[in-house]
Amino acid sequence: MLVVDSVEKKREDKKLKIGKYEFTSRLFVGTGKYPSMEIMAEAIESSGTEVVTVAVRRMKINESESLLDYIDAKKYKILPNTAGCYSADDAIRVARLARETGISDMVKLEVLGDEKTLLPDPIETLKATTVLVKEGFTVLVYTSDDPIIAKKLEDAGATCVMPAGAPIGSGQGILNKNNIRIILESAKVPIIVDAGVGTASDVTMAMELGCEGVLLNTGIALAKDPVRMARAMKLACESGRLAFLSGRIPKRLYAKASSPEKDF
């Protein structure tokens, strides 16, 4: 079956490739909402990530402390997001500003529909993707778990499509495994679950399904012990990836003995 083949092909033990960049770690970690900058830095280290997301905001004049004092841009790839944007134009503006810092040409594009759900606006997201791809950005696009819009974003030139497991910051895990599976079957670009992850098993599930990676922030940042949770997420990501590459046994309704039948 063609569709199954396409997921099978992903079972190759290769590095994660996003545009011109290659990563060993498949966990992308956000930098928001930590109890302190020091804990954030320690958690990022503990997560083993190679990609950290950041937001773009008006600089506070006369404030000496900077996020970038705590993240070594030589060690980590910085992935600026367009969080807080509710139209394609606004997100494009933020993406252009982020690139102009000279720190990164990647952008985590998110164009949201409303403040209550923080769900993506698919129409504005597609518009912004088309423009930013034309401008040469490496676009990693946040979207819902809808397979049709995911495909359209890929067709528009997104380097990576990032469906939400559940609403941003909700910690509900992967709500619709089947949609993620359908997205994976037809995708030719990396699929990274972005948002909604609450705990380690959520990460493992995404990776076992065959996702190329997981992006999370709140699940680590607001855990009681963010540094320890970061390590849990790292191990979960590796476990899920290994399980996917190994090929799990099919589920059976009835038992099947592990030991040979008794013969004496």
Partner 1 sequence: MRITLNGEPKECPEGTTVEKLLELYKIDKNRAAVELNLQIVPRKELSGCILNDADIVEVVTFVGGG
Residues 6+ apart with CB under 8 A from 174: 165, 166, 180, 193, 196, 202, 205, 206, 209
Place of tokens 């083949």: 5
Identify whether 108 is a catalytic site residue.
Answer: yes
Q: By CB under 8 A, what part of segment 163-182 binds partner 1?
A: 168-169
Please say which residue, 100 or 115, places its beta carbon nearer to partner 1.
Answer: 100
237 lies in the binding site for partner 1 (CB under 8 A) = no
Please say which residue, 97 or 123, places its beta carbon nearer to partner 1.
Answer: 97
Please say which residue, 43 or 182, places its beta carbon nearer to partner 1.
Answer: 43
75 lies in the binding site for partner 1 (CB under 8 A) = no
Please say which residue, 10 or 96, places its beta carbon nearer to partner 1.
Answer: 96
31 lies in the binding site for partner 1 (CB under 8 A) = yes
33 lies in the binding site for partner 1 (CB under 8 A) = yes
> Using N-to-C axis directions, what is the helix angle for 147-155 and 122-134, rounded to 10°?
20
Q: How many CB atoms lie within 10 A of CB 245?
A: 14
CB of 175 to partner 1, least distance (A): 18
How many residues form the binding site for partner 1 (CB under 8 A)? 40
Please say which residue, 69 or 155, places its beta carbon nearer to partner 1.
Answer: 69
Place of tokens 């992967």: 174
Pair 143, 124: CB distance under 8 Å: no
CA distances from 28 to 62, 191, 248, 253, 262 (A): 31, 12, 25, 37, 50
DSSP 21: E
101 lies in the binding site for partner 1 (CB under 8 A) = yes
Taking the alpha carbons of 242, 218, 82, 142 in that order, is the dihedral positive or negative? positive
59 lies in the binding site for partner 1 (CB under 8 A) = yes
Only segment of 29-37, 122-130, 180-188, 229-237 that touches partner 1 (CB under 8 A): 29-37
- In whole angstroms, give the CA distance from residue 139 to residue 154: 10
Please say which residue, 169 or 213, places its beta carbon nearer to partner 1.
Answer: 169
Burial class (CB in 10 A: 0-12, 13-18, 19+), 4: exposed
98 lies in the binding site for partner 1 (CB under 8 A) = yes
Q: How many CB atoms lie within 10 A of CB 62?
A: 5
Q: By CB under 8 A, what part of segment 184-203 binds partner 1?
A: 195
Q: What would the x/- binding string for partner 1 be over residues 110 to 139, using CB under 8 A?
A: ------------------------------
78 lies in the binding site for partner 1 (CB under 8 A) = yes
Q: How many residues does the chain have?
A: 264
Q: Which residues bind partner 1 (CB under 8 A)?
A: 30-34, 40, 53-62, 64, 66-68, 78, 80-81, 83, 96-103, 168-169, 195, 215-218, 221
| Active site (catalytic) residues | 108
